[in-house]
Structure 1
């Protein structure tokens, strides 16, 4: 039985004893649960109408007699709560539905997309809830604009047609009024109804009778409530005799007049609906939410819903194609007209902060939760990405000049603190390329000699990671901009001059061109006063509070032992002990140890999350609280505390503890997945010759430039050519080489003279066609296979086909390649599900006639059998043989 049901049962017991009620504290004590949980469930019972509560202190709760329990809150009332600007419209609609004897006809006014159809549907649901209409009563929707060009057909749709009424009327046809008998007929775009139709309608609304087109001798009757809607001025677009029959006119306001909080509720609703359709949660960045809140949505709610659906569809497509590991919407994925919302209406910032937690980066919308959840995630880009994003954000908020420089300077300072403290020193050489690490060590040694200093070990490692990021950025043709370059050069002249010389070492060794801006960043590392980060006794105290007999103290002991400190304290919260007692222990500890410093509380759940506020009120001490504590959080918080970080800095850094690893893993995965094809051309005649050869190949070969690059490299000496090829293979899958001499490589090679005279063009084109086909098949398999990974399956299929081609000394066409790939992939997928494929007719004779091919195919397929624990039957081997030797 659920806790809330136990509480309701206890309330009923007290009511049977003629009790005047029971307090939340008494319920908590009798059921041995926390007061917070008891209070929460009691108030939920009150909202559901199953309990009532008294005014005054203490608040007493009493069960309500079941026969007097009011019905659940109406769907239209719930709608009104989250859309307060429609309160009057809702009240008008309720009055129209409840008006005796059969309700009032309604005219809805509003711009395109404001939600008139949705509102009409809510009215219908309200009529059923209030038992004005039965649950079986029809709700018919008809858009008059669909038949506006054929008035006769339009009227026939509405009123029905008698056989022979006009040419082509070969049988009697039931109209929508007849179908809607006993229910509601909603006519959208009613201004497109011709004058004749409006006259027929006001007769029906007056008397409840109508005739089918072509009927003259009889009348039909129906009980139908009419709801109409129009985007036009009814006085200009409709007959006065028609509008007089519709006493209830309701105006639905445009989205721009409905307030940001309402718009936020709509965005949440639409995203939760899309989560339900996709069957998965949807992660949306805070900036995307801000953009949706403020962009110019001319076509109102209809456009907002459509734009959200399109954003979700794109994110879903990226997820299916493995471009993203979740259905995630970032602001950069949105069309420019939506992103413009980020740069509008700066005065909304306070309201944004009210609606969404500005310190978070993502919302997670999940249909199972039926609410939005914050994701504890923040990007950990290097300083260049951070400065790009930060500068754009500040400019969008109208911050410029000296104020902009001050903000950027603060961000740069935070960056150095973060880098100096977060690097895992034991793994530094594993995360940086060997040749890059060598030049970094040379640079550090040079700087120490020139400045006559010994860099602190953490400065040393922070600088290493930074230079590695800088080199990588230059290699990817991204700019490096240092907004504080001028002031750094003035304030740290000696360090800056040494940093400029250090850039020359990097340029020479790595063959890159580092901009002068980078010298500013290196100078900051060289001049940074690391002593300011040394441990300051009890600067920020970390207190872990967790449920369990020894959970918190065990975690605190582990962290103190690992870091050689006593800067984290554990306070256990046994399950059976009341939260008030745990709070009392915490207060006693602070009093006894005369704690005056700021405190970061790391707690696991429940009422423990409220302790920080209580401590602030009692001791006037600044606190922050992070729920869902783990040892990793405690380690990070304590380490930052030892280094003298402020409470807010420790709070922000600890919240980011998981993102360092998640973002790096995602980035590695994306780089792996975005590997492109390449033809590498080696030239000895300089850059001009390399470019000429590239143009020749582009002219003579057909290929998709989105998938394949022609990469020219100059021969600087045979000794270094293989190092260059190795580096290229990190970014590219090299499918062949063009060179004036033989290279010691595994990929196919073409001689330079053969390319120039055209002898090798067809052979190279064949390779391109095959590799492009494989690349495209990868996406196909990823989206179609249900039981296996498409990328892995394709790798084994490629090897299988290559082995067959080598044995048969042949090259198969791309069409057959596609067929084999799909066939084997399906075979593997079905084998995993223990399904069998179709039998092969005449199997024995076919094997006997093609015994050599049978052996080749069977042997080549053995690795796939082993990999996927399957045993391909003779029938399946014959099916594969047929691709290489089709039966006539």
Structure 2
């Protein structure tokens, strides 16, 4: 690779995952920074960077020292294209609001060119035209539609149509703003929209123009408008009414601008937007989901997206009609965004299978992802569907690369070339001596990870997910391979290094892990794979030692699962499931729901009409059990105990291990399928787990008395405490159940007589408060309630012993929120108490992961109260000084470092920096928990 290419690649890599806000902060790299990274002479790097500026590939930021940033990164972050002259600016902020200059004139009606313009989009196109032409300056619009339906694209087409119709001049601004980015910070939101005056708040070092000012004479597209808080909506409708605004911090000057607003939301606007704001947006346009589109439009959309992939490949695609069928009729297809994702997956598979062909990539059923392939294979309507599709495409359709102009261009987040990366990785893995099957397995895992995360989580700039990991991770993984082989008394091949290094590298890069397993699942994994868990603990210690960071427990669980998966990579055995019920369709309904929600698994339904004889039942079950057996046994879920009695006979007849659970429900089937698909448990482990969760629950449930249900709040004196306690209990009940539960307040003085009266009319689920009435229902003292355990007991009582419910609800920390809100509403002057609690609750989740502790409610309340007031004191410029002569031990030092590190992003979000002394106060609270 040439020197200039290495420098550009490094520059691109440094910024490819940054958000717009991050780019605006760092502004680019200096020549010295790139020289240090690549170990080159600064003068050589500077020479090549300036060559890249001259070749229109890199922008120069004329600061001191001068900084550089790839033009491709800037265009992607700003969602705009730049003219060739604009390659040097004083700072990136100058680019906000600059014109799109790819095409100064538009010769074809952009709205009419959209797929469905004369079909499902006909009404939307007509409404958009009417809104654009409405005198004197057009009507503000609200676009409604599900995620991925194409609202952003439609807004862009309205802008292009306005230029085409000469309503707007070529080059007038089209600005996109996502309201979700500033949901928790009204001050920053106000600054982004309307700008601010120098010195208005911490970090406001210069005067700044807002998006309204940049969008003057053009269009401002506000995505996810439902995330705009009421304050923001009020700011906007004042501007819409008057055309006037102030920058934040200005009191004397009234500024004016003429802006057409296009807003978009996935929610019901009447329930998420102020009525006063909605009245200012007179034109509501519905953008149909993919489901609402005709078959012809779905075929056209699929063809267009395949053409986009052909453009990237620079090859023709030879697409079989079965691929069209599978893509269009995928059961889980919800929107155009997901169709785009599936098209890319199929093309990536096809490309990998056609690497030896230079002219064309053939796409057949073998190139479908497993999940889509299974759906296609199992569908009984394929012949009928293919016949319908054949009206629009041939049995084999040749698709050539699409050459686009501005009117046919779609928002294309995947602007990098995935296929070049696949070629590079195949070449490297070939050199490592892997078989073709192993290479495909490794690369397809990467492709799925990349495309799914890209479209489902909108990780728009995650271009290097497929990049190989760093050398230090590879070296560590080789050491861990030796440890695992010694501890588990087995031999691993090279795949161990590839899979484990990829996982460790991903963990190091992503920082905070997103925990998708609950406590029960982690316990099952820990108890089922004891040896692998012990090895994973050794991995944890080594990673912590080498990289000086904390590895949370959930990551140890993932290592456990990974080690086990690599051990049994060649084994595809899973527990089979047979759902058998009396009647005509109950079992089938349960299985359909489970497979639709959780994907393909070895499961069959047996519906048994009451007229069927016992011998026929046994024959049918024998056939079905053999059908789903993969060598790990079969779990039978049945509706009556009589079927459970057949277990030993069926086991003798089939020679297959069978376990049976009675009283099957849809929830039980879902739980069993989830455990087979995702936890990789054996038959006995799944049987024990499902039985524990459901059968013991049924035995435990009390018989309903038929009375109305109530919680009793007991208070000595003082209406204030009683009122607050009632509010807390009301919130807990609303979160736990939809049933009506009465909250009854009783004075402890009259408790004995009053409780007897209540028991006559109500079934008392629990009592809460200062005195225990000593009845059969559980009693929770105020102290226990505030600590957090009481909340779980109440939820458990409400949900009649369903232990899975409290775990989910406890994460919402109802007591913490209620008590903190109550105090902060009274005493905070500048900060919004609701927003600061949300921010600090999120922060505490991070802290708990880092400290590897679970904080009780009392500690959480203490930390939230102190930190909220610490932020408030920053605004007042009155921080507290730490004067205590306390010895700085290891626990306090650890707590302080974690406090400082984890608070930093939230300080940046609020634009407020807490002093070191304040952080030491907070750290002392955490240190007590270590």
Give the structure-1-normalised TM-score: 0.33
Give the structure-2-normalised TM-score: 0.32
- The structure that has the greater radius of gyration is 1
